[in-house]
Amino acid sequence: MSELLNRRLQLLGAPANLSLLKQCLHGIERECLRVTQDGRLAQTPHPEALGSALTHEQITTDYSEALLEFITPALADPVQTLESLDTIHRFAYTALGDEMLWGPSMPCALPAEEDIPIAWYGTSNIGQLKHVYRKGLAVRYGRTMQCIAGIHYNFSLPEALWPLLRTAEDSEATDRDYQSAAYIGMIRNFRRYSWLLMYLFGASPALDTGFLRGRSHRLETLDATTLYLPYATSLRMSDLGYQNNAQAGLTPCYNDLHSYTESLRQAVATPYPPYVEIGTHKDGEWVQLNTNVLQIENEYYSSIRPKRVTYTGERPIQALMARGVQYVEVRCLDINPFLPTGVDLAQARFLDAFLLYCAMESSPLLDGRDCGHCTDNFLKVVKEGRRPGLELQRDGQAISLRQWADELLSAIEPVAQLLDRSHGLEEHSKALADQRAKVADPSLTPSAQVLASMAAHKESFSQFSLRQTQAHADYFRATPLPSEVRQEFEAQAQASLARQSELERTEVGEFDLFVAAYQASILGISQ
């Protein structure tokens, strides 16, 4: 344990401060495809009974009309966060009819590219902007890639914790700047160590052959319709999907908030020749919002993001620059296909300990070589993390994944113990022990269990996935929501539809002018 980590844990463990760690906030976003009974992508519109995908706070769509996204509130108790996620799933099933929610991260057998429906958000300017942005993603990356689903884990430390640390460390920074710098340091450590999460929780070692659309690849054939890598943990997070040209040169290394926001601001403002060649319109219709490296800042694909709740009409970069970092969004987590909601409490407890460790441990700046090693380690683990004897790079030296994982878990252990003390339970330490077992025995990892289950049942990826999908559907349908909870969700759905109608009824100004103003809002940010 570093001296800094030791000092910070002692400070947070003092009787006067111990309760602070009970005030961390946890939110989960879970994406999942709507599919038919035979495991095909649903071609139906977003169910009206679920409300407006544009204005509902908890149930929306991501890329495709068929790609649902469920959003919990940010709550202090992850038990309640997961209960909220479960409840949203149960309500969704009241509106799905014969359709189901696809279990894994990698998609079902998909139709032709042009038959994957892009999400529609109505005729308001903001609704059209969201739709055109997705049309741009189709032009740039293809629709198939956008059908991958994941779990996003939002986590924040209590606001009162940062001034406590700042004072103890005699920092001359303002509270806001100290907090932002601490979160950015946390993100740097996450970049260093997130390969561990991919080993422990990766759950996408195989995929449907059709996903690659005949492109060249280095995957192995498992059966007539399944491709895989024998030691892969998360093909979802590999470079299969995004060998992206334009984003390749965009590598914010999170050394400070300004350089991060500035790199994204420039990417949203810098033309990219192949996109310029496509243009923004075809046959009089919008095909992408602009011809720049990024259409909007959220197009940047990263495993973690610094975040700040935005005001109405405010862009994410504007919020960060104006008020600093408020929380982080962890974006690299696969859906666990063995779990009805894709994630469970033990995983949340370990994530809390892992993220608190990343925040409290010293976090030196990353140079270009360090950044490269972080990326290389991550990609190596997602493609061959369970390979016996696999070695990673640490400080320019080779180290076995198993040794480094054991050392990391030992370093995280006092953090888990402190969280247990603050909460009066033992679950963080138990969750950490579960992860130690996976390091000692790779067959306990979700990725290994997916392949083992497929082998035991002599199933293809799609057959395994459909079996899990059906089991989860039966689970949710077996226990309907209490009538008062269902009525509350139905009222939210109706209210969201009314908000969308009101937006469309009162809309003023042409869409072209709206897009121009939206673009100008980022160009006008002072550097």
Q: For residues 247 and 242, what is the distance between their CA atoms, to the nearest angstrom?
A: 9
Among 103-112, 185-194, 198-207, 513-522, where is mean pLDDT lowest? Answer: 513-522
CB 267 within 8 A of CB 300: yes
Q: What is the mean pLDDT of residues 469-478?
A: 98
Q: For residues 497 and 499, what is the distance between their CA atoms, to the nearest angstrom?
A: 5
Instruction: Please give the CATH architecture assigned to the domain spanning 3-523.
Output: 2-Layer Sandwich (3.30)
Average pLDDT of the chain to the nearest whole number: 95
The H or E element containing residue 282 is: strand 281-282
Among 214-223, 246-255, 300-309, 377-386, where is mean pLDDT lowest? Answer: 246-255
Radius of gyration of the chain (CA): 23
**Would you state the pLDDT for residue 237?**
95
- The band of 123, judged by pLDDT with boundaries at 50, 70 and 90, is very high
**Would you state the pLDDT for residue 242?**
53
Model pLDDT for residues 256-304, shown as the tens digit of each residue? 999 999 989 989 999 999 999 999 999 999 999 999 999 999 999 899 9
Q: What is the mean pLDDT of residues 309-322?
A: 91
pLDDT greater than 60 at residue 241 = no
- The band of 48, judged by pLDDT with boundaries at 50, 70 and 90, is very high
Q: For residues 281 and 145, what is the distance between their CA atoms, to the nearest angstrom?
A: 22
pLDDT greater than 50 at residue 118 = yes
* pLDDT over 70, % of the chain: 97
CB 354 within 8 A of CB 197: yes
**Would you state the pLDDT for residue 526?**
47
Q: How many CA atoms lie within 13 A of 31 on its CB side?
A: 22
Q: What is the mean pLDDT of residues 368-380?
A: 92
pLDDT greater than 70 at residue 196 = yes
Sheet holding 220-223, edge to edge: 206-208, 226-228, 220-223
Instruction: Tell me which long-range contacts 403-407 makes (C-beta under 8 A, separation of at least 24).
Output: 405/196, 405/199, 405/439, 406/436, 406/439
pLDDT greater than 50 at residue 128 = yes
**Would you state the pLDDT for residue 253?**
66
Across 120-262, the runs of DSSP E, i.e. the strands, are 151-156, 206-208, 220-223, 226-228
φ/ψ of 498, rounded to 5, equals -65, -40
**Would you state the pLDDT for residue 464?**
98
- Residue 331: strand, helix, or coil: strand
**Would you state the pLDDT for residue 1?**
76
**Would you state the pLDDT for residue 89?**
98
- The band of 254, judged by pLDDT with boundaries at 50, 70 and 90, is confident
Model pLDDT for residues 336-358, shown as the tens digit of each residue? 999 999 999 999 999 999 999 99
**Would you state the pLDDT for residue 521?**
85
DSSP state of 238: S
**Would you state the pLDDT for residue 525?**
58
**Would you state the pLDDT for residue 527?**
44
Q: How many CB atoms lie within 10 A of CB 337?
A: 25
